[in-house]
C-alpha cells in the first residue's frame, strides 16, 4: 500500500500581473517631462563624479527618479486602476477593507542609466501594504525585478537545491520577465531588487506603494480630532 500525503499550502505570497500595453505610449509621453527634469538635476552630480574619478563615466550606475507624480492628470487611468485593484487584492487576501481607506503613499517613475550599471539592491518599502510596477521601456536585454522569500525562518534554514532553475518549495529567488505594459502587484512586505542593467536598451518603469489607514483615524483627522 502506498501512502499518499495530502499537501496543504499556507502562508503563500501572491504576485499578480496583467498586461496593459494600451496605456504605454500615453504614459511614456507623460513621464518624459519627469525623467528629463531628473536628468537635468543630476548633471551636476555627474560632473562632480567625473572630476573625482578623473574619467568620463557619464551616468553609469545612476537611476533617474521623479518626485511624486500620482497627481499628474495624464496618469489618471493608471493611478485609478492601481488604487482600485490594490483594494480588491487586499480584500482577496482576506483583509476586512471596510475598516480601511487606501492611500497612494509613493508613486514615481524611474529610468536606469544610459551607460548601464543601474540597479537596486534587495529592499522593502516599509509602512505600506501593496506595492507594484508598471513597465514602460524594457526588453529581454534590460534589468528585471527579482523577489526574495520573505520568511526569515525559511531563509535561514534553506538546504542546497537539486536544481536551482526549478521553482520548488525551496526556491529563494524568483523573477519576472516584463514587457512594456506589464503591470505587477505584490504585498509590500515582499523583498525585491532589480538586477544590474547593462545599458543596452532603455529601461523605464513606474513604482508605486499604497498604505491602508484605519477609517477611524482618517475620519478623526477630517473632523479635526
Q: What is the CATH number of the domain that holds 178?
A: 2.60.120.620
> DSSP class of residue 141?
T
194 belongs to a structural domain? yes
How many structural domains is the chain composed of? 1
- pLDDT of residue 220 exceeding 90, the answer is no
23 belongs to a structural domain? yes
Burial of 57 by CB count in 10 Å (0-12 exposed, 13-18 middle, 19+ buried)? middle
99 belongs to a structural domain? yes
10 belongs to a structural domain? no
How high is the pLDDT of residue 225?
61
- pLDDT of residue 223 exceeding 80, the answer is no
Q: What is the mean pLDDT of residues 107-123?
A: 97
Residue 197 CA to residue 116 CA, distance in Å, equals: 6
How high is the pLDDT of residue 138?
98
Q: What is the mean pLDDT of residues 76-97?
A: 98
- pLDDT of residue 224 exceeding 80, the answer is no
Residue 173 CA to residue 164 CA, distance in Å, equals: 9
2 belongs to a structural domain? no
Residue 220 CA to residue 83 CA, distance in Å, equals: 22
- pLDDT of residue 193 exceeding 80, the answer is yes
- Average pLDDT over the chain, rounded to whole? 96
How high is the pLDDT of residue 222?
78
Residue 18 CA to residue 120 CA, distance in Å, equals: 23
92 belongs to a structural domain? yes
How many C-alpha atoms does 83 have within 13 Å on its Cβ side?
15
211 forms beta bridges with 103
Condensed to tens digits (0 to 9), the pLDDT of residues 22-79 reads: 999 999 999 999 999 999 999 999 999 999 999 999 999 999 999 999 999 999 999 9
Q: Percentage of the chain with pLDDT > 70?
A: 99
- Name which of 5-14, 135-144, 215-224 the model is least confident about: 215-224
Condensed to tens digits (0 to 9), the pLDDT of residues 144-174 reads: 999 999 999 999 999 999 999 999 999 999 9
- pLDDT of residue 1 exceeding 70, the answer is no
Cα–Cα distances in Å, from 32 out to 65, 142, 150? 11, 19, 34
Asked whether 122 and 175 are in contact (CB, 8 A), the reply is no
6 belongs to a structural domain? no
How high is the pLDDT of residue 196?
97
Query: Which residues span the domain enclosing 33?
Result: 16-222
8 belongs to a structural domain? no
> In terms of pTM, does the model score above 0.75?
yes
The dihedrals phi and psi of 113, each to the nearest 5 degrees, come to: -60, 140
How high is the pLDDT of residue 179?
98
Amino acid at each position: 500500500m502506498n501512502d499518499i500525503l495530502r499537501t496543504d499550502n499556507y502562508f503563500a505570497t501572491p504576485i499578480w500581473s496583467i498586461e496593459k500595453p494600451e496605456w504605454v505610449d500615453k504614459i511614456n509621453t507623460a513621464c518624459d517631462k519627469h525623467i528629463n527634469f531628473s536628468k537635468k538635476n543630476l548633471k551636476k552630480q555627474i560632473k562632480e563624479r567625473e572630476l573625482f574619478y578623473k574619467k568620463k563615466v557619464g551616468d553609469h550606475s545612476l537611476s533617474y527618479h521623479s518626485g511624486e507624480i500620482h497627481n499628474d492628470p495624464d496618469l489618471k487611468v493608471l493611478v485609478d486602476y492601481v488604487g482600485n485593484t490594490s483594494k480588491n487584492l487586499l480584500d482577496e487576501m482576506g483583509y476586512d477593507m471596510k475598516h480601511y481607506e487606501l492611500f497612494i503613499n509613493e508613486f514615481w517613475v524611474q529610468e536606469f542609466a544610459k551607460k548601464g550599471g543601474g540597479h537596486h539592491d534587495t529592499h522593502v518599502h516599509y509602512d505600506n501594504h501593496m506595492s507594484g510596477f508598471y513597465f514602460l521601456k524594457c526588453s529581454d536585454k534590460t534589468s528585471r525585478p527579482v523577489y526574495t522569500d520573505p520568511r526569515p525562518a525559511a531563509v535561514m534554514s534553506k538546504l542546497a537545491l537539486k536544481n536551482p532553475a526549478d521553482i520548488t518549495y525551496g526556491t529563494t529567488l524568483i523573477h519576472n520577465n516584463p514587457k512594456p505594459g506589464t503591470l505587477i502587484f505584490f504585498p509590500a512586505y515582499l523583498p525585491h531588487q532589480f538586477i544590474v542593467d547593462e545599458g543596452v536598451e532603455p529601461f523605464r518603469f513606474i513604482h508605486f506603494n499604497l498604505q491602508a489607514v484605519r477609517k477611524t483615524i482618517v475620519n478623526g483627522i477630517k473632523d479635526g480630532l
